Amino acid sequence: SRVVLQLPRVVASISPWSVLQGSLQQLLIDQPVLDVRRDAQGQWWIAGMRLQSDDDTTASDWFFSQPEFVIQGGQVQWRDEWRHGVNGPVLQLQDVRVILRNRWHWHDMQIDATPPTEFGQRLSLRGQFSQTPLHRRGDWQDWSGQAFLDLPHVDLANLRQWVQMEKNATLD
């Protein structure tokens, strides 16, 4: 058996306004270990829980209504059984840092992580998204916005083992 989620330190901050709103002011998770897996049938599992593909957005509605969500010093273990088989390699991302800020129908995100040295240097993903006020906050598929990915000195041969890339795709 393997650890699929480890949360050594979780800090939830509240304010009078957040209490009235039924939310937290900030949720900080320090040094978590998270297992992410895609099984042989292509189904995604996060922390041992299968991601549902139905229309129930209750958990994501709550998550995207929190003003600030922060992960610092995290570790992600990614297993892709669909691509590599059950006994395939595990991709380890170290020093994972995530900041997600949600204000009304605006969502700002930053994700930084250090891959193994054979993949390249520390990567960074940033995004700013908005959604129509009539949609539930968890309906992230309907968001619009921009995302920027910085992959300095990436080794494309190693990256292709983990990410589907189009033949004509370019990385600037």
Report d(CA 169, CA 69) in Å as an integer. 32
pLDDT > 90? residue 156: no
Q: What is the pLDDT of residue 49?
A: 87
When the pLDDT of each residue in the chain is averaged and rounded to a whole number, the result is 88
What are 88-111's pLDDT values in tens digits?
899 999 999 999 999 888 999 999
Beta bridge partners of residue 115, listed in sequence order: none
DSSP 166: -
